[in-house]
Amino acid sequence: MKLVVGLGNPGKEYQQTRHNIGWDVVSLVAKQCAAGRSKVKFEGELVEIAIASERTLLLLPHTYMNASGRSVRKACDYYQIPAENLLVICDDFQLSTGRLRMRAEGSAGGQKGLQDIIRQLGSEKWSRLRFGIGQPPPRWNTRDYVLGRFAKEELGLVKEAAQRAAEAVADWVQHGTEFCMNKYNADPHTETGEQT
């Protein structure tokens, strides 16, 4: 069984904000897989889907970003999901808008949700898909920026990237992290791309 977690904050005021892009991607996966009704479980919203006959759980923590690890740990403990079967999707303002970066492990890099998951699981050895939201403009407060919405001119790029991220989830379930790193870490808008 695989567990895919989309990070974000609950509540209407946070919908479609940059910080909720992980949540939006996982919701898109659920929609595309014609998922049934979600259940409120593990301090979050949980739905089960099948990707290429592989049983997959989608989790949207309702704990607010900074306490995401609590929800993730409860789900991992209950279903006895090993670290290699966990994928977390989150925003990253160190990446340009729409860039995707898959990693098999690593530090939180300042992302508070990832930081709490690392703390709760006691390990950095699980996959994460970072979704670029771009750098805050000069003199902008970082918190205001990540909790703001994408500019109109960014929406097309974000929608396209969200679709690629949803495809990356399906590929991760079927083919694993390394396959996804090779396929999705390149910049789709350059001729050669940059595999980082």
Alpha helices by DSSP H, listed for 45-196, are 68-79, 112-121, 142-146, 155-175, 177-184
Q: Could you tell me the sign of the dihedral formed by the alpha carbons of 136, 139, 142, 146, in that order?
A: negative
Q: Residues 19, 62, 175, 189: which is the catalytic one?
A: 19
**Residues in CB range of 75: below 8 A, 6 or more apart:** 3, 5, 41, 42, 44, 46, 57, 59, 81
d(CA 163, CA 77): 30
d(CA 158, CA 173): 23
Establish whether 175 is a catalytic residue: no
**Catalytic (active-site) positions:** 19
